[in-house]
Structure 1
Amino acid sequence: MKQLAPLSATPPPSTPVVGALVSATGPGKEAMHPLLPIMRNGLDPHEELGRLRHEHPVVAFPMLGLGKAWLVTRHEDVRAVLGDAGTFGNELSLARDVTMPHTAGQWRPGGLGFHDSPVHTRRRRLLAPAFRTRVIRDMARRLEDIVATQLERMAQAGPPADLVRALAEPVASAVMSELIGVPDADRRATGSGRFDLSGELGTSIAAADRSLEDVVELVARQRAGRRAGLLGRLISEHGDQLDDRELAGLIDGLLTGGLGTTASMIATGCLVLLRDDRLVTSLRREDAPIDRLLDELLRYVCVAQLAFPRFARRDVILRGQRIRAGDAVFCSLPTANRDPALGTDMDEVDPHRRTTAHLAFGFGVHRCLGAPLARLEMRVVFPALLRRFPGIRLAVPAERIEFKRFSVIHGVESLPVTW
């Protein structure tokens, strides 16, 4: 079977990003911008990702100091990679030919994303009780109160307002603070530059380390004093088996995964809704069938740009490409979610679309543990906002909304609204 030639090295810094993402360098060879997988045109994946999905669904590309990495863009293939933990693992030790900046050399990730069984299984079981159906259902009333409080603050301040800072971030922060028992979750979760890959990888990792150290201090304080939330439960029930750093890694992972993504999804989902009068009208009804629309918004927006990288445990052939043991595999979730194989007009929001097997929360053993909580937050926020402010609308033309650039978590920088 004919193999696709490996792509050449990263384009020089002077290469313009837009318009030169993929340029011919010889027969069968192309140069790809290393940040293409996290580039968007507004709400849409970059058009070059759509071309790759059609022509080269599994393609070699340069990224983040990895000697050999692959980008997977078709829905079927992404599910195959994420669903096969026996072939594709998450442990960084599986990677080969890795060139890390000196600032990243001693990085030791906590949480779940960069670990396989048995570590991943053990840690996930520790966290799972906080996200059981009964627990999430019991949180609904408290979440309604949190949202109502933020909406009242918006009303008192008067228009205009930025829905990112007036609603999305405060709601996500309050929910995570209460669930985990960590005050000021928004300040502790992301750190400056944690999701921004426009600079060196070491900058992002250093931001992650700063956030982790902050949580380590919180763990120590709860061990010695009053215990609250999930963190307090973990200390009380498993504190003898978990040291402060492992506990901090678990909590930091939840904050990272549950705050930035949810806040971005709330704000960006609001943008989609406010651009479409049909959706606004339907959600204002008390009996609005919201679940199908939520799935469609999650599929369409998909703020998580990439799944955690996987590393091949052994040589494997995928779509005719030989992926060797130790190669990194990156799965583009937004591009897979727009795959025409899932249905018609996948680049449009269809509130009547039958629920698709979207990948907004990932897939397989690493599927987002907090998915039910994130869905609950959206189910409460969207109708409450539209009912509280019947005349709410964008305060600037939609084309002037500024989006994040080169961020693993996509979203709007701000969302000005008035009423």
Structure 2
Amino acid sequence: MSGDDSRPIHIRRQGFDPADELRAAGPLTRITVGSGADAETTWMAAGHAVVRQVLGDHKRFSTRRRWDRREEVGGEGIFRPRELVGNLMDYDPPEHTRMRQKLTPGFTLRRMWRLRPYIEQIVTERLDAMEQAGSPADLIEFVAEEVPAAVLCELIGVPRDDRAMFVQLCHRHLDASLSQRRRAAAGEAFSRYLMAMIARERKDPGEGLIGAVVAEHGDTVTDEELRGFCVQVMLAGDDNISGMIGLGVLALLRHPEQIVALRGDDRSVDRAVDELIRYLTVPYAPTPRSAMEDVTIADQVIKEGETVLCSLPMANRDPALLPDADRLDVTRESVPHVAFGHGIHHCLGAALARLELRTVYTALWQRFPALRLADPAKETMFRLTTPAYGLAKLMVAW
């Protein structure tokens, strides 16, 4: 599974659970990230209250990284590499406020539900393809790798004829099995396509997110900012939702008594989806925070300039959040988990993620009520090299 001791402690997992050494670390502790000349000591927050305190305090904990170490933390003349222009997670107010205000209307609950017919259509198409392929089939190949990318393409407005190519470039850029050169080449092609698409949208805005932003805000948002935001949406959204689809299905197959919640009313389904999101927590950690001043948290002094990593899986398994946080219970009421972050950087796409997951989970068991693991005794292939946790393969039968 995930007992690879060479991996940083904050991303080690054991099946659905955080690794034992991560559990033993405490609510706030020092860890070493990297090795050799690249090794760096940083703080790791793992307690739910500590994580919320760090993520919720953007004035004392900055997400803006120092690319020129001669500058002060949070200095005004900061240099930002091109790949981070438009990445909201690397922005502090007032830059962050300006960009988020322009983008938030594209992620309202009302707009997300306007996407519902397309989400249902693409899920139906992928389940059709899986059924036609015959039992057993790999749920990751047919559903988890296809649905999130297609939905995100619809969201930002990628023409349907271009989507297969566009998604392939996205996946190649994320594929850690490829050489760095090949991944970089895919990333550059991905970026070039987006810049060309943005130029077209400037002339004739469509109904997608890019078209809506340029129609409403014009030149007050730059092409590079739009490109960077779309890259962030595609890379993070695709990987996180793909991971949640595969892990969520596996968790339910291993707890079959809880599948009944997916056949209940909307409230029951929403509770089930939110519990799966909390229990599985596929993102390891959000962008590291840099202390803007000396801060005392959990009886520890984090000095100005020091970095804090926040372990989202550990925070969501904290007994202080739930007395039985290691148990999956899709009937329990939702709790203030941090799977989507917290504070000003709370995930813009949270409503879309929930909608996609509830659509996939409910449609899957409506189509295949006898869904089961094809070979329960076979070891599950977890993803260990992607930005978000997930499954490399999940063979199911019906």
- TM-score, normalization by structure 2: 0.86
Whether the 8 Å CA contact 2:106–2:212 is kept in 1: the answer is no
Deviations 1:313-341 (A, max 9, x none): 11112223222211111000001111111
Question: Is 2:221 the partner of 1:242?
Answer: yes
Aligned twin of 1:271: 250
Residue type at the aligned position of 1:135 = R
Whether the 8 Å CA contact 2:56–2:344 is kept in 1: the answer is yes
Deviations 1:177-202 (A, max 9, x none): 111112425334354347x59999x9
Q: CA deviation at 1:392?
A: 1.2
SS at match of 1:417: strand
Name the % identity.
37
Whether the 8 Å CA contact 1:188–1:215 is kept in 2: the answer is no
Aligned twin of 1:386: 365
Aligned twin of 1:113: 89
Whether the 8 Å CA contact 2:123–2:360 is kept in 1: the answer is yes
Aligned twin of 2:20: 47
Question: Is 2:194 the partner of 1:215?
Answer: yes
Aligned twin of 1:315: 294
Deviations 1:225-272 (A, max 9, x none): 674511122233333233322210111111123221112111211111
1:322 and 1:399, CA in 2 relative to 1: closer, same or farther beyond 3 A?
farther
Whether the 8 Å CA contact 1:404–1:410 is kept in 2: the answer is yes
Aligned twin of 1:89: 62
Whether the 8 Å CA contact 2:281–2:339 is kept in 1: the answer is yes
Q: CA deviation at 1:108?
A: 4.2
Whether the 8 Å CA contact 1:68–1:97 is kept in 2: the answer is no
Match of 1:59 among 30, 33, 40: 30
Deviations 1:281-331 (A, max 9, x none): 332356771111111101111011101111111111222322221111100
What CA distance in whole angstroms lies between the structure 2 residues aligned with 1:72 and 1:193?
26
Whether the 8 Å CA contact 2:292–2:304 is kept in 1: the answer is yes
Residue type at the aligned position of 2:17 = D
Aligned twin of 1:189: 170
Match of 1:168 among 133, 144, 152: 144
Match of 1:178 among 135, 144, 154: 154
- TM-score, normalization by structure 1: 0.82
Whether the 8 Å CA contact 1:282–1:288 is kept in 2: the answer is no
For 1:25-44, list aligned pairs within 5 A.
Answer: 35-44=8-17
SS at match of 1:70: strand
What CA distance in whole angstroms lies between the structure 1 residues aligned with 2:179 and 2:133?
37
1:119 and 1:288, CA in 2 relative to 1: closer, same or farther beyond 3 A?
closer
What CA distance in whole angstroms lies between the structure 2 residues aligned with 1:409 and 1:187?
18
Q: CA deviation at 1:223?
A: 3.5
Q: CA deviation at 1:215?
A: 2.3
Whether the 8 Å CA contact 1:197–1:204 is kept in 2: the answer is no
1:252 and 1:283, CA in 2 relative to 1: closer, same or farther beyond 3 A?
same
Match of 1:416 among 388, 395, 398: 395
SS at match of 1:396: coil
1:204 and 1:57, CA in 2 relative to 1: closer, same or farther beyond 3 A?
farther
Aligned twin of 1:404: 383
Q: CA deviation at 1:67?
A: 4.6
What CA distance in whole angstroms lies between the structure 1 residues aligned with 2:228 and 2:263?
40
Moved more, 259-268 or 236-245: 236-245
Residue type at the aligned position of 2:306 = D
What CA distance in whole angstroms lies between the structure 1 residues aligned with 2:256 and 2:100?
41
Whether the 8 Å CA contact 2:89–2:345 is kept in 1: the answer is yes
1:199 and 1:231, CA in 2 relative to 1: closer, same or farther beyond 3 A?
same
Match of 2:106 among 110, 113, 130: 130
Count of paired positions: 382
1:66 and 1:206, CA in 2 relative to 1: closer, same or farther beyond 3 A?
farther
Whether the 8 Å CA contact 1:193–1:207 is kept in 2: the answer is no
SS at match of 2:89: coil
Residue type at the aligned position of 1:271 = L
Whether the 8 Å CA contact 1:94–1:311 is kept in 2: the answer is no
What CA distance in whole angstroms lies between the structure 2 residues aligned with 1:66 and 1:97?
20
Whether the 8 Å CA contact 1:309–1:329 is kept in 2: the answer is yes
What CA distance in whole angstroms lies between the structure 2 residues aligned with 1:334 and 1:366?
17
